[in-house]
Chains A and B, each alone.
Chain A
């Protein structure tokens, strides 16, 4: 079964850091681009970051550029999002999504930034 499972969310104070992980199974992870997408409470979707299958091409939304770092470990079938200097507006459910079409999504992990 094709599956993506996010982890690493939680409550963090403003200015703090978190590292999200996305564990992939049921497909050849190294063949797919991957994405992080977030959704603030009661709001729409925001594409946060993209990484190519090899990791050689990376994009970030302006709202997170310089604070977030996307990476992947194809040997471990895992995707990561290192989030530093967190702000209240980063509070959201963070999803990882597979491929150009984002045809497979995880269930998400919740990040809450609050003092």
Chain B
């Protein structure tokens, strides 16, 4: 089973700042990596699929990069609604594992 490790566990930033979230895979997942945002009491929301493709309706301030084992989600300028938990997920092979999440909190 492929293990995804997200860092940092918690990121404290202010609105307007740039956020960089990392996801590292225990073996190559090619570009089969997605990012999800989850707010309390809500279902996850797809942000990025296949490492760098923004999902429908996702603002341009969200971008994804990477391939192989190292991936990054960047939020260029944080808006108040961006403070949430972010998960990466691979589906290079079954089971499609999730990372443990990064909590993005307001500083």
- A-side residues, CB < 8 A to B, are 37, 44-47, 50, 59, 61-62, 95, 97, 100-103, 105-108
Q: What is the bound-complex CA distance between A44 and B97, given in angstroms?
A: 11
Q: Assess whether B95 is in contact with A108, with CB atoms less than 8 Å apart.
A: no
**Chain A, residue nearest B94 (CB):** A59
Question: Which size bracket describes the interface of B in this complex?
Answer: 20 to 34
Interface of B is mostly: loop
- B-side residues, CB < 8 A to A, are 34, 36, 38, 42-46, 49-50, 55-56, 87, 89, 91, 94-101
Taking the closest CB of chain A, its distance from the CB of B39, in whole angstroms, is: 12
Q: Assess whether A105 is in contact with B98, with CB atoms less than 8 Å apart.
A: no
| CB < 8 Å neighbour of A44 from B46, B56, B87 | B87
Per CB-CB distance, the 4 closest pairs between chain A and chain B, nearest first, are: A105-B43, A101-B49, A45-B98, A103-B46
